[in-house]
């Protein structure tokens, strides 16, 4: 079997066995931007990411452990061997938190509380990069086998224009530790100690403008039907409304483009559902439709 023929599930199984973990009952539980497999016998999950993201995953584990030491509400990294590579994949292990059936996921209000506390923490003793927008999508576009030449040129031009506009912005909240991809879907309930929201997926953590962590919730109102009352609750919990700020429309446009990166990678790997999603979203952007529901 060639390296590229190793599937994410095979990588998760092999890495778990290599780490001394049971794979009994292993099952996929998240197959969108990130591939996640539940290891029920261990109360852990295995997250499978491209091998090229090893450094960001290494940082995310170090940061998660520091945040846990600060008693921050975080999905904790497992105390097992980490960053096990197999073919084009790298595998990390995290604690699993059982979500009760029928119990709604944490509301946007709780994300507002989490971000308010996160943004009050000191800079961590982890060498985090400075936040740069659109890096992941720029890299994905450069190597994509799915995009046509016209689509690639359109994306490259769009990235260039948005990046230049971003560099001209002033950010009223200043800079500090940011999650980088903070939206309600990255929060879950903690069933191990008490029912309280936790936030995971720290590979995009950086030092950057705090507004970056706020924009995804507002993006959800535009593209995914998030209700106005959720937005109001989020603003109340965080204690600041970025909507009147002149940079907010630009950050929403950047978030539109950034959200395409995982779909490009999955489409290039042969996922036809991802390809259809990618082409639909890309067509709405090329038509200038800023309100199409995704």
pLDDT at 1 over 60: no
pLDDT at position 4 over 80: no
Residue 78's alpha-carbon distances to 30, 59, 86, 116, 259, in angstroms, are: 18, 14, 19, 26, 28
Q: Is the pLDDT of residue 274 over 80?
A: yes
pLDDT at 58: 96
Buried/exposed 38-70: b ≥16 CB within 10 Å, e otherwise: bbeebebbbbbbebeeeebbbbbbbbbebbeee
- In this predicted model, what pLDDT tens digit does every residue of 23-82 receive, in sequence order? 999 999 976 657 899 999 999 999 999 888 899 999 999 999 999 999 999 999 999 999
- Quote the pLDDT of residue 144: 97
Beta pairing class for 175-178 and 35-39: unpaired
Q: Is 269 exposed, middle or buried (0-12, 13-18, 19+ CB in 10 A)?
A: middle
- Distance separating alpha carbons of residues 199 and 54, to the nearest angstrom: 20
- The CA distance from 90 to 50, in Å, is 6
pLDDT number for residue 31: 67
The answer, yes or no, to whether residue 102 has pLDDT greater than 70, is no
> What is the token pair recorded at 92?
């990390």
Of 136, 133, 147, which is closest to residue 253 (Cα–Cα)?
Answer: 133
Closest CA to 80 of 111, 102, 105, 47: 47
How big is the CA angle at 231 (ends 226 and 237), to the nearest 5 degrees? 135
Taking 60 as the threshold, does the pLDDT of residue 84 lie above it?
Answer: yes
CA–CA gap between residue 117 and residue 265 (Å, rounded) = 33
The pLDDT tens digits of the residues spanning 199-245 come to 999 999 999 999 999 999 999 988 988 899 999 999 999 999 999 99
- Per-residue pLDDT, 228: 93
pLDDT of residue 170: 96
Top pLDDT among 194 and 95 is at 95
Q: pLDDT grade, residue 291 (50/70/90)?
A: confident
Q: Which residue has the higher pLDDT, 2 or 192?
A: 192
How far apart, in whole angstroms, are the C-alpha atoms of residue 294 and residue 291?
Answer: 9
What's the pLDDT tens digit per position in 117-172?
Answer: 999 999 999 999 999 999 999 999 999 999 999 999 999 999 999 999 999 999 99
In this predicted structure, the answer to whether residue 195 has a pLDDT above a threshold of 90 is no
What are the beta bridge partners of residue 77? 94
Instruction: Give the CA diameter of the chain.
Output: 55
Residue 192 has pLDDT above 80, yes or no: no
- The mean pLDDT of 181-199, rounded to a whole number, is 87
Per-residue pLDDT band for 99 (boundaries 50, 70, 90) equals confident
**Domains detected in the chain:** 1-96 (3.30.200.20)
What is residue 225's predicted lDDT score, i.e. its pLDDT? 84
Average pLDDT over residues 173-183: 96
């Amino acid at each position: 079997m060639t390296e590229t023929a190793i599937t994410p599930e095979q990588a998760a199984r092999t890495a778990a066995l290599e780490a001394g973990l049971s794979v009994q009952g292993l099952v996929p539980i998240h197959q969108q931007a990130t591939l996640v497999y539940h290891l029920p016998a261990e109360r852990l999950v295995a997250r499978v990411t491209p091998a090229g993201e090893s450094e960001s995953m290494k940082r995310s584990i170090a940061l998660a452990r520091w945040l846990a030491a600060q008693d921050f509400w975080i999905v904790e990294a497992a105390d097992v061997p980490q960053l096990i590579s197999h073919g084009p994949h790298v595998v990390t292990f995290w604690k699993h938190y059982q979500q009760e059936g029928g119990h709604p996921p944490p509301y946007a209000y709780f994300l507002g509380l989490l971000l308010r506390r996160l943004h009050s923490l000191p800079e961590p003793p982890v060498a985090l990069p400075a936040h740069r927008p659109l890096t992941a999508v720029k890299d994905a576009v450069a190597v994509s086998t799915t995009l046509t030449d016209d689509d690639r040129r359109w994306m490259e031009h769009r990235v260039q224009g948005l990046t230049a506009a971003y560099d001209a912005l002033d950010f009223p909240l200043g800079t500090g530790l940011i999650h980088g991809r903070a939206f309600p879907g990255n929060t879950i309930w903690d069933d191990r100690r008490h029912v309280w929201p936790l936030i995971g997926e720290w590979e995009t953590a950086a030092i950057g403008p705090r507004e970056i962590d706020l924009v995804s919730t507002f993006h959800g109102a535009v593209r995914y039907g998030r209700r106005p009352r959720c937005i109001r609750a989020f603003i109340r919990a965080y204690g600041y409304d970025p909507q009147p700020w002149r940079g907010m429309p630009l950050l929403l446009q950047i978030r539109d483009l950034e959200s395409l990166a995982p779909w490009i990678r999955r489409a290039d790997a042969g996922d036809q559902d991802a390809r259809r999603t990618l082409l639909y979203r890309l067509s709405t952007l090329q038509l200038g439709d800023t309100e199409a529901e995704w």
